[in-house]
Structure 1
């Protein structure tokens, strides 16, 4: 219950008070970019160059918002529980906890984006690589050597999850579609037969 109250208070203050104020007034790059994306008129001192968002700015995302909101939340809750003398320590503790939590979240999100980018690069490189068939003296046939699996594919195989190629996945979707289309046609026939039977019964009852 206490965690729910704390979380509700923190996010309510951040999303409905602190972030809107910083978005309108703060001069730093992330808030200038935020104003630009929201179509908010910028103060006269805004300067924003057309540069891509880089890792340092992603690490700093919402740190100030969370720090201020944590200070307000910690001060309010500690003050309500322990009185006015606890407001200052509660604000400091809230700032430290919320800023650290936001930084950890930003680092996790940055690592996730890097992983996705690396996976996309691996897929592009794999598709661009041409695999020439080689002669296998054991079988006496030309065979295409499979590329080594990545560690993620090896983990999936360990759990019984075999990765599918694009063609295999498309074929699986088509087979699933055909099964459902067959079931739909059977249901349509059954419904039509029921309606016809119902119509015949009504005609017999009238006669």
Structure 2
């Protein structure tokens, strides 16, 4: 099954990096409210990207991340200021890697590797540089280059064009069920990294493979 795969393409947020690791900084800044903040912040971050796509009002993921944080703080009735908000935004550039990530990527380094993210480059590039993963990837692909968020077909088309391959030659991995549905619908081979043991999305497009973490991807190595 590995022969036809010419590129291993990874989503970033939730797949390589734990988005909820901002909880620690949020706890520090907002008196133990880190769990509530991190959960709602992520929910609104995704919701705003989807809504802006549907409304035809694209904005960068960094701006969406700031807007969704502000909504979260208002919703939770938490008093804040611009300095605290900036510290928490900066924490998004220092998210924790999931434990298996570096080892898996190192074992795949002889393959063509890429990341494909909704993150804008002002968030994505510092995050990957800080984690010392940059040298392992052949391509860093951001939807910001074409201003089309995943899961639109145009966003996956941008990744395909950037990689210069056929759809079936790409194995796309994400922890986000909606992202996997979009990629499978577009024609990529897909592996859902179902870290939270969630049910399948009811979208009539199921992943080719389901794994509990990225270590199982190594079965694709010849």
TM range (shorter): under 0.3
| TM-score normalized by the length of structure 1 | 0.22
Larger helix share, 1 or 2: 1
Q: Which has the larger radius of gyration?
A: 1
- Ranked by relative contact order (alpha carbons within 8 Å, sequence separation 6 or more), the top structure is 2
Larger strand share, 1 or 2: 2
| TM-score normalized by the length of structure 2 | 0.21
